[in-house]
Copies of this chain bind each other. A is one copy, B any other.
Amino acid sequence: MINRIPSMKLAERVREGHLRAIARLITRVESGGDAEVREALAELYKATGNAHVVGITGVPGAGKSTLVTQLVHEYRASGRKVGVVAIDPSSPYSGGAILGDRIRMGDLVSDPGVFIRSMATRGTLGGLARPALDAVDLLDAGGFDVVLIETVGVGQDEVDIVRAAHTTVVVNAPGLGDDIQAIKAGVLEIADVHVVSKADRPDANKTIQELKAMLMMSLEPGEGIWRVPVVPTSSEKHSGFKELMAAIDRHAEHLEKSGEITQRRHQIALTRVVKVAEEIVRDNFARDSRSQTEELLKKVTQRELDPHGAAVTLLKAMKETIHEAH
């Protein structure tokens, strides 16, 4: 590329909060990231740890994007800079993220205290978590007070993304199937705050009561334990978003006061390191056209070797290549 701004130079501008520099560096991260990009990320990582990271998850149709938009407005009204990383499944036709919902964000687009980015899936063998969490780092290092990660809350990768947040908000909508969607998505136990969206609808109260009943069942006795609140919101009536922001703030306070923040940080570090390690392993296998990999896969196809045996052999062989590649 001609006149490509060096990634380390972009990193400096990211530190100063330049939105275009953040956007550009995220694009480089998304497209794989060479050694220079990784160096820039490592440098920026030192400047992270100040933002409060909020994972917002829920099944498709739960109204996450609308809620995120409203929440961004609340954070701005409270004087805070807020970044959004939205994980949208990719369309094979557009080759990118579906941005429809973003259009509703309207006036936020021109606000320098707001950064919104939709990230697409990375294709066949790539996970979403690593580039998404790198983007969170960039916003953190760029001086954003709050970073919201919005994901469709089903699947291991998605669960890992919310595990890398300080506060996890699970969005439930009334009437989206018979069961509480958080159970279907397997994310009930990771919620720090529950939202029931579309609370103006007549069946919302049933969902609220069911959620509260389930939360009661899991209630551990004791002092100083976080009680997961259920916050009703309605974008129709513009209600509940201030309360949601307050609930997230209370949870942030609780983490600090109780000392739970230490465990949470440990968990986040573990998740991130594992995700990177997984990606290195995937990349290694996928890119690797060496005869050994192909030979082993052929053996697996022909039932001469089982997948476990092949994986162990390939992991051992990877040893020699890790150093040069990463």
Report A's interface with B, CB cutoff 8 A: 38, 41-42, 45-49, 59-61, 89-93, 98, 100, 121, 124-125, 127-128, 133, 152, 154-159, 163, 176-177, 179, 181, 183-189, 214, 217-218, 265-266, 268-278, 280-282, 285-286, 296-298, 300-301, 303-304, 306-312, 314-316, 318-319, 322-323, 326
Contacts and interface: CB of A to CB of B under 8 A. Distances in A.
Contacts of A275: 307
B127 A156 contact: yes
Contacts of A181: 60
Contacts of A98: 179, 183-184
Contact of A310 (B152, B187, B273, B298): B273
Q: Which of A92, A127, A307: most chain B CB closer than 10 A?
A: A307
B91 A183 contact: yes
A44 to B, nearest CB: 8
Contacts of A163: 124
Contacts of A46: 303-304, 306
A280 B316 CA distance: 12
Contacts of A282: 274, 278
B188 A91 contact: yes
A50 to B, nearest CB: 10
Given A41-B306, A100-B179, A272-B307, 11 more contacts: A60-B185, A91-B188, A98-B183, A152-B154, A154-B158, A155-B156, A269-B300, A273-B307, A274-B285, A278-B278, A315-B319
Contacts of A92: 188-189, 218
B270 A184 contact: no
B154 A307 contact: no
B285 A186 contact: no
Contacts of A314: 273, 277
Contact of A322 (B278, B309, B316): B316
A46 B184 CA distance: 35
A120 to B, nearest CB: 9
Nearest to A122: B156
Highest count of chain B CB atoms <10 Å: which of A270, A275, A304, A323: A270
A49 B307 CA distance: 13
Contacts of A183: 89, 91, 98
A218 B128 CA distance: 24
B214 A93 contact: yes
